[in-house]
């Protein structure tokens, strides 16, 4: 799991609110770090992407659950801690290991003790995490052992639900101690409210303090700090109204600094092989970018051998973008995507096994994004890959002109845009700036239509493909984790 989140204008507002809170008589959180080194320096994994990589210990498997089930549970439990938009915590599953998950020198191993369990922990212990840290409060390693010797494990409401326990244990893994907040995953006495598998607002507060991203996106109130509600996909919501410009921030300022025309290129479909020789230009839609593709899936049990779709997307400013990959309808297909920056540094990837999306991520798209979509197994599948330029609004993929997520500026929630101006009266007229063009972007320029990229450093020859692609595909081909 990897999620990247971006600062958002609301993040600044939240900081202001937090600062105001500091002036009030008492501001308290219930969560606690494993230990503190003073000065607000708590035990945490050092900054990195990922912060931590965990490894399944194959000599210590569960005898109750199939391997695939265990893997899914472990990954879902880790992912839960990266759910809040304010959390930058990133974790990744690494190659399996043969290390003893109880060993002092083991490196971030997870396993089940099925044949014995240490007397020092007691038979009532369900699972235990062994974090170790240095004098600077940097977590050095962590290992986790599930007690399969005294307890039988399952995955649902009956029996011992592994995910309920493991989600809590991974809280220790990322540096948390117990919490006195009743609904916290990390509390001793859990008074309910969010379910054992999901983190609470207090847990969100904790993970976002240890691993702050500055983001404020959310799916539920529990993705926000306690007392802050999730409104329209953002903690604290967004300002009501619409300022009729070309973004969704309603701040009265013209559209975002990335409102320029898009210049992008990608593989031309159909192309269902390794060959990347055919290019196409990609036309923007309403200022944002939506790419559709079809992909064939194949692997030989070890390496990926199938189709790969790739895109070079020029970002017309040094600013942020948000991107998402979405595929549906063919749930048996296992799709991955990777996004790199102009220097071929990975921004984000999604390689969850048997994952069918949708997947979304946010990241810095300074000057250029390079996206690769590939499929490991399953039937051919269609997908969309969307890029939304900062500043964006809730649910705004493919639509940059309003904030009620339809295609106009009236914020009434009804669909419809007459594509001439901002009044949606059907008559051709102004553009709020008198430009009389046919879009809503408040500039005198015609509506955005992308040209074939002209300043891209990539080769556009008919046989060579992008040079960065061959570099990236080498690790991709060998990356598989089965």
Q: Is 57 in the site for another protein (CB under 8 A)?
A: no
Task: Give the nearest distance from C-beta 234 to another protein in angstroms.
Answer: 17
Per-residue binding letters, 205-234, with another protein (x by CB under 8 A): x-------------------xxx-------
Task: Give the nearest distance from C-beta 31 to another protein in angstroms.
Answer: 11
Distance in angstroms (rounded) separating the CA atoms of residues 251 and 227: 25
DSSP letter for 421, please: S
CA distances to 32, 181, 189, 218, 468 from 206, rounded to whole Å, are 7, 11, 18, 15, 39
Distance in angstroms (rounded) separating the CA atoms of residues 396 and 402: 8
Distance in angstroms (rounded) separating the CA atoms of residues 217 and 200: 15
Q: Is 132 in the site for another protein (CB under 8 A)?
A: yes
User: Where does this chain touch another protein (CB under 8 A) — which range of 163-171, 256-264, 308-316, 452-460?
Assistant: 163-171
Say if CB 143 and CB 91 are below 8 A apart: no
Tokens of 476: 């991709």
Rg (Cα) of the chain, in Å, rounded? 24
Task: Give the nearest distance from C-beta 159 to another protein in angstroms.
Answer: 6
Q: Is 129 in the site for another protein (CB under 8 A)?
A: yes
Task: Give the nearest distance from C-beta 106 to another protein in angstroms.
Answer: 9
Task: Give the nearest distance from C-beta 231 to another protein in angstroms.
Answer: 17
From the list 244, 246, 278, 270, the residue with the least C-alpha distance to 259 is 246
Nearer to another protein, 126 or 473 (CB): 126
Q: Which long-range contacts (CB under 8 A, 24 or more apart) does 26-31 make?
A: 29/202, 29/205, 29/206, 29/209, 30/179, 30/180, 30/181, 30/184, 30/187, 30/202, 31/176, 31/177, 31/179, 31/181, 31/184, 31/186, 31/202, 31/203, 31/205, 31/206, 31/209
Which residue of 119, 301, 463, 474 would you call a contact of another protein, by CB under 8 A?
A: 119
As to burial, measured by CB atoms within 10 angstroms (0-12 exposed, 13-18 middle, 19+ buried), residue 92 is: middle
Nearer to another protein, 164 or 265 (CB): 164
Task: Give the nearest distance from C-beta 119 to another protein in angstroms.
Answer: 4
Nearer to another protein, 129 or 265 (CB): 129
Task: Give the nearest distance from C-beta 95 to another protein in angstroms.
Answer: 22
Q: Is 12 in the site for another protein (CB under 8 A)?
A: no
Which residue of 127, 262, 375, 469 would you call a contact of another protein, by CB under 8 A?
A: 127
Which residue of 47, 191, 300, 463 would you call a contact of another protein, by CB under 8 A?
A: 191
Which residue of 15, 16, 18, 318 would you call a contact of another protein, by CB under 8 A?
A: 18
User: Where does this chain touch another protein (CB under 8 A) — which range of 18-26, 331-339, 424-432, 460-468?
Assistant: 18-26
User: Where does this chain touch another protein (CB under 8 A) — which range of 61-69, 184-192, 299-307, 372-380?
Assistant: 184-192
Cis peptide before 428 (omega within 30 of 0): no
User: Where does this chain touch another protein (CB under 8 A) — which range of 99-107, 278-286, 390-398, 415-423?
Assistant: 99-107
Strands 139-147 and 109-113, bridge-based pairing: parallel
User: Where does this chain touch another protein (CB under 8 A) — which range of 21-29, 358-366, 415-423, 457-465?
Assistant: 21-29
Task: Give the nearest distance from C-beta 196 to another protein in angstroms.
Answer: 6
User: Where does this chain touch another protein (CB under 8 A) — which range of 172-180, 337-345, 362-370, 415-423?
Assistant: 172-180
Say if CB 347 and CB 366 are below 8 A apart: no
Nearer to another protein, 133 or 211 (CB): 133
Q: Counting every residue, how long is the chain?
A: 482
Nearer to another protein, 2 or 185 (CB): 185
Nearer to another protein, 169 or 336 (CB): 169
Q: Is 37 in the site for another protein (CB under 8 A)?
A: no
Say if CB 91 and CB 167 are below 8 A apart: no
Which residue of 76, 92, 100, 418 would you call a contact of another protein, by CB under 8 A?
A: 100
Distance in angstroms (rounded) separating the CA atoms of residues 430 and 423: 9
Between residue 350 and residue 389, which ones bind another protein under the rule CB under 8 A? none
Task: Give the nearest distance from C-beta 112 to another protein in angstroms.
Answer: 14
Distance in angstroms (rounded) separating the CA atoms of residues 344 and 351: 18
Distance in angstroms (rounded) separating the CA atoms of residues 323 and 363: 8
From the list 107, 34, 402, the residue with the least C-alpha distance to 241 is 402
User: Where does this chain touch another protein (CB under 8 A) — which range of 189-197, 258-266, 345-353, 441-449?
Assistant: 189-197
Distance in angstroms (rounded) separating the CA atoms of residues 443 and 403: 19
Say if CB 348 and CB 340 are below 8 A apart: no
Per-residue binding letters, 249-268, with another protein (x by CB under 8 A): --------------------
- Spell out the alpha helix ranges (H) of 239-328: none
Number of residues that bind another protein (CB under 8 A): 61
Which residue of 6, 86, 102, 321 would you call a contact of another protein, by CB under 8 A?
A: 102
Q: Which residues bind to another protein, rule: CB under 8 A?
A: 18, 21, 24-30, 34-35, 100, 102-105, 116, 118-135, 140, 157-161, 164-165, 168-169, 172, 177-178, 185-192, 196, 205, 225-227
């Amino acid at each position: 799991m990897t999620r990247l989140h971006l600062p958002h204008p609301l993040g600044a507002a939240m900081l202001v609110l937090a600062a105001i809170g500091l002036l009030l008589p008492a501001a308290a959180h219930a969560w606690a770090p494993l230990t503190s080194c003073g000065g607000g320096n708590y035990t945490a994994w050092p900054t990195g992407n990922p912060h931590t990589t965990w490894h399944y210990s194959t000599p210590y498997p569960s005898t109750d659950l199939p391997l695939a089930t265990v893997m899914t549970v472990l990954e879902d439990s880790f992912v839960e801690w990266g759910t809040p938009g304010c959390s930058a915590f990133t974790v990744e599953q690494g190659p399996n290991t043969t290390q003893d998950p109880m060993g002092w020198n083991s490196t971030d191993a997870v396993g089940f003790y099925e044949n014995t369990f240490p007397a020092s922990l007691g038979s009532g212990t369900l699972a235990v995490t062994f974090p170790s840290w240095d004098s600077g409060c940097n977590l050095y390693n962590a290992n986790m052992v599930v007690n399969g010797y005294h307890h039988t494990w399952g995955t649902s409401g009956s029996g011992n639900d592994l995910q309920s326990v493991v989600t809590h244990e991974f809280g220790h893994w990322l540096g948390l101690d117990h919490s006195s907040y009743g609904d916290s995953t990390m509390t001793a006495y859990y008074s309910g409210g969010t379910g054992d598998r999901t983190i609470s607002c207090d847990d969100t507060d904790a993970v976002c303090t240890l691993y702050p991203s500055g983001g404020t996106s959310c799916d539920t109130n529990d993705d926000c700090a306690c007392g802050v509600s999730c409104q329209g996909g953002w903690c604290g919501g967004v300002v009501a109204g619409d300022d009729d410009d070309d973004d969704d921030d309603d701040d009265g300022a013209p559209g975002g600094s990335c409102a320029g025309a898009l210049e992008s290129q990608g593989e031309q479909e159909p192309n269902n092989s390794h060959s990347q020789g055919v290019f196409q230009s990609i036309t923007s839609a309403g200022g944002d970018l939506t790419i559709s593709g079809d992909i064939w899936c194949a692997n030989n049990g070890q390496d990926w051998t199938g189709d790969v779709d790739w895109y070079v997307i020029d970002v017309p400013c040094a600013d942020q973008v948000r991107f998402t990959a979405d595929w549906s309808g063919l749930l048996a297909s296992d799709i991955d995507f990777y996004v790199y920056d102009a220097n071929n540094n990975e921004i984000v990837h999604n390689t969850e096994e048997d994952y069918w999306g949708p997947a979304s991520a946010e990241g810095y798209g300074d000057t250029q994004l390079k996206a690769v979509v590939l499929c490991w197994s399953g039937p051919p599948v269609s997908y969309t890959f969307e890029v939304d330029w900062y500043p964006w609004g809730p649910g705004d993929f493919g639509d940059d002109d309003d904030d009620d997520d339809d295609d106009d500026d009236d914020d009434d929630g009804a669909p419809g845009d007459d594509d001439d101006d901002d009044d949606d009266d059907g008559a051709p007229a102004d553009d709020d700036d008198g430009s009389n063009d046919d879009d809503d972007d408040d500039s005198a320029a015609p509506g955005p239509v992308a040209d074939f990229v002209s300043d891209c450093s990539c080769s556009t020859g008919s046989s060579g493909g992008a040079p960065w692609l061959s570099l990236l595909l080498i690790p991709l081909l060998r990356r598989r984790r089965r």
